[in-house]
Structure 1
């Protein structure tokens, strides 16, 4: 499962690093240490130029709502989709046969860049009340992670050609492997660089093996560490959420 993560990259910088087009526009992205469902997030897609469809597809950095909105979603009011449970995660093993995701699996796959993601381990507190201890999973060398995602385009059909498009995405999850099983039984599905071309290809289905649970070696460089309980509230946002925690102070637990 992945319901909260951190990303500090700038879209323009990301586009330069990936040799991609920055299509985020004036969305005003800034570092977000507590990304939550329905937030605007950065994604990487590969698409053809609408004016030159015969040209090769190119990488593009786009802003999308985290929580996929299927194209067939009805309107609550003009230009606004009906609110429902945010589809911020999709099971990789079932997405191809799930109505909300199957079209996206065929032709709208993306990457979701992040510094790392949060999970919580629940234990009884001193008063008997359960306490949620947050942990942050990130590359040990501080590198950026890219998770497999799906995206969708929603339009208010009643508005015809005048309808504005709403881009939204979801992060694929799979069974946790390796040391990550100590934190949660699910994890976001990492997409190694060598598989990007096949995963993002808008003209062909992705190889089925890319949706399979990876070997433990794929996450062997992931560092798991406790972080302050400040992250438990989405109202908190800043680098202090990733600061070191004094486990001796009794604020956190260690994974055994």
Structure 2
């Protein structure tokens, strides 16, 4: 968890919803209903621009899968798409980002697979789409990091790689039968405190990471199509009913 998500909101809507002050329209993405690790997504963050005194809320396009500053190569990204909330403040890969580089990932929802016993043969995976019951975007808690690609000059377009990870926790009662972990998302009242790069007290930040109350989320069975990253359309998030095929013996 979480290994795929849907993000189809228009950047203009994200700007309005999160109070973004800086966004370059040239930095844009097409809607995606099947975002996979190492792909790019819109991320909201607060950062102090060079020469400024106060942080500015920005909408950026970053790559999913955090690459620590000390990593030798960006290949570690696929293993660092999630960070556990109980250890994120102390793990070397996430500690510095948790202290000052926190972000929000606006998504429609995310996918999770439940292992279902098979009547015969191997167990199978049943996909679900987890989203807010009120239809609003989920504001997933995340961290971002800068990685210097020393194979090229720093001013080169590929000189820096900026990546992010999603913070997770134990699943709430509704989702626990599907998967034991779930991403943490923030209420609007916590946005400013979570994004503030000047807030670095671990315990104060961890108090913002609380599971949602019952009834906020819904889990909808969806088509097995979502299992392939080649499939990417709005229908992937729609309810799916399995059809039982009757077998007639002659």
Distance change in 2, residues 1:207/1:96 (3 Å)? closer
- Out of 170-179 and 117-126, give the one that drifted further: 117-126
Stretch moving more, 157-166 or 14-23? 157-166
Q: SS of the counterpart of 1:180?
A: coil
Between Structure 1 and Structure 2, the one with more helix by share is 1
Alignment of 1:169-208 (within 5 A): 169-205=164-200, 208=203
SS of 2:71's partner is coil
Q: Which runs of 5+ in 2 are unaligned?
A: 246-250
Indicate whether 1:105 and 2:101 are aligned. Answer: no
C-alpha displacement at 1:58, in angstroms?
2.1
1:134–1:226: 8 Å Cα contact kept in structure 2? Answer: yes
Gaps of at least 5 residues in structure 1 are 76-80, 252-256
Q: TM-score, normalised by structure 2?
A: 0.88
Q: Does 1:20 align with 2:15?
A: no
- Displacement after TM superposition at 1:67 (Å): 0.1
What is the number of residues matched between the two proteins? 242
Residue deviations 1:170-209, cap 9 Å, x none? 0000011131212111100111111111111111215525
Distance 1:68 1:84 in 2: 5
Give the root-mean-square deviation of aligned CA atoms: 2.2
Cα deviation 1:207-236 (Å, max 9, x = unaligned): 52543562551x521011101111111111
Instruction: Give the distance between the partners of 1:162 and 1:232, measured in 2 at CA.
Output: 38
Match of 1:115 among 103, 108, 111: 108
Matches within 5 A, 1:90-239: 90-157=83-150, 159=152, 161-163=154-156, 164-205=159-200, 208=203, 210-211=205-206, 214-215=210-211, 217=213, 219-239=214-234
Q: Partner of 2:79: helix, strand, or coil? A: coil
